[in-house]
Structure 1
């Protein structure tokens, strides 16, 4: 039986934990504003200068502006291997009529950038939902960080005050993406959520365009952050086949996919 967490030859996300959530969190509207400003070929530092000159983000400090543009937006969208997708991501986000799809595409790239938030989704959020829970506690995220220390996901152990701040950042990001209610007394209510079908179509094709084999696409760990197991992924791919987006041949141990859309631009026309 294949594991949904099978190692991928190409690293599509960062697994280490850092405090960088403090510098950006969800920044959904800010990402849209920056994609309106961004031009293909611009680096994060070039975009920062443009945002500074135009006053696009109306931040209260130079540090906050730099954090949003370089540590938030730039680290998610303007770094390998995801830089090549940025022009089409821009078109999808700025032209889609679905706020849910827009939010979830930004969520995907945030999950790829922040290892601790990825693990929050796979080890706390979906696990709690499957066990019929309706709240996540600050202590749960604290325990997740302790587990990360044991697994070597932190460069060094954080002080209690840093742990407390990171816990608040993780819960804050969950709130930004409408996965959680605002935390009160260390408790955050879970909002029931299922990903947009076009988000999953985008993810499948994005993994393909990144160079993963068909088996690696199906077993990619990003699916778990959207609450899907391998059988779930197969069901969605079969649905996409019925909509003529691909042709799937799955034997249970090996799979082959014939992809109908041959460029990112062709996929964009489907999504918007």
Structure 2
């Protein structure tokens, strides 16, 4: 599901939370990126200083994260906001979509932030992110100049701040995955055709620093809430799903 390429797309929005909320508020089913750009431009929905900036936010940010793989995602996210999920929990969904599209951020969560937590460090130093970025170049995973490396260091750190994983002082914040976040991505991947075992082993769970055992524990506990019925035996997991669409799941859960 995720883009494995290391790009500089974070330059066009980092966490992009406010912009995403604004775009979701005007997005209509069936809109492609060009129609969305046209509507936003005509109605000045983002108050961008330049047309170039507007295009970058929509194409390199919103489209790449939410529309490219599945054009229904903006409809689901819009419905979730309308149903009243808190912004704090909604932002977790945006974080996962951002990470899926931006490998530099996804792997920074795993290799920098999670390692910081594992080492019981209270501060995520800017140098830790810079070292991770430079290592990507050293391993020939990305071909970035020193100036681009510095910018990517800032962008990754800004995403950590935007998604409230650290504060502006670099202090590591508690980041507990919400029940709805787990349920949402389980159902998203179920309707995308993933097997129950593949859902258990999704890479995205590591964004929340969950071990495989912890993921199973959460899946089993959430089974008691009625969205599905899960059974496990040793290394096997089977799920009986109750909902027939994401819209039905969202409306019944929030």
Matches within 5 A, 1:109-120: 109-120=97-108
CA-atom RMSD in angstroms: 1.5
Q: 2:155 aligns with which of 169, 175, 178?
A: 169
Match of 2:18 in 1: 29
Query: Which residues of structure 1 form unaligned runs of 5+?
Result: 1-11
Match of 2:176 in 1: 194
Question: Is 1:180 the counterpart of 2:169 in the alignment?
Answer: no
Q: 1:133 to 1:217 in 2, by over 3 A?
A: same
Match of 1:240 in 2: 222
Query: Which residues of structure 2 form unaligned runs of 5+?
Result: none
Q: Which one scores higher on RCO, CA 8 angstroms, separation ≥ 6?
A: 1
- Measure how far apart 1:118 and its partner are: 0.5
Match of 1:44 in 2: 33
C-alpha distance in 1, partners of 2:103/2:253? 27
- Measure how far apart 1:206 and its partner are: 1.1
How many residue pairs align between the two structures? 254
C-alpha distance in 1, partners of 2:140/2:216? 32
When normalised by structure 1's length, the TM-score is: 0.88
Deviations 1:232-272 (Å, cap 9, x if unpaired)? 11111111111112111222322211112221111111342
C-alpha distance in 1, partners of 2:81/2:52? 26
- Measure how far apart 1:65 and its partner are: 1.0
Match of 1:131 in 2: 119
- Measure how far apart 1:152 and its partner are: 5.0
Match of 1:3 in 2: none
Give secondary structure in 2 for the equivalent of 1:135.
coil
Matches within 5 A, 1:1-272: 12-80=1-69, 82-149=70-137, 152-154=140-142, 157-182=143-168, 188-272=170-254
Deviations 1:59-92 (Å, cap 9, x if unpaired)? 1211211111111111111112x32333222211
- Measure how far apart 1:46 and its partner are: 1.1
When normalised by structure 2's length, the TM-score is: 0.94
C-alpha distance in 1, partners of 2:108/2:238? 31
- Measure how far apart 1:95 and its partner are: 2.8
Q: 1:141 to 1:235 in 2, by over 3 A?
A: same
Match of 1:7 in 2: none
Give secondary structure in 2 for the equivalent of 1:143.
helix
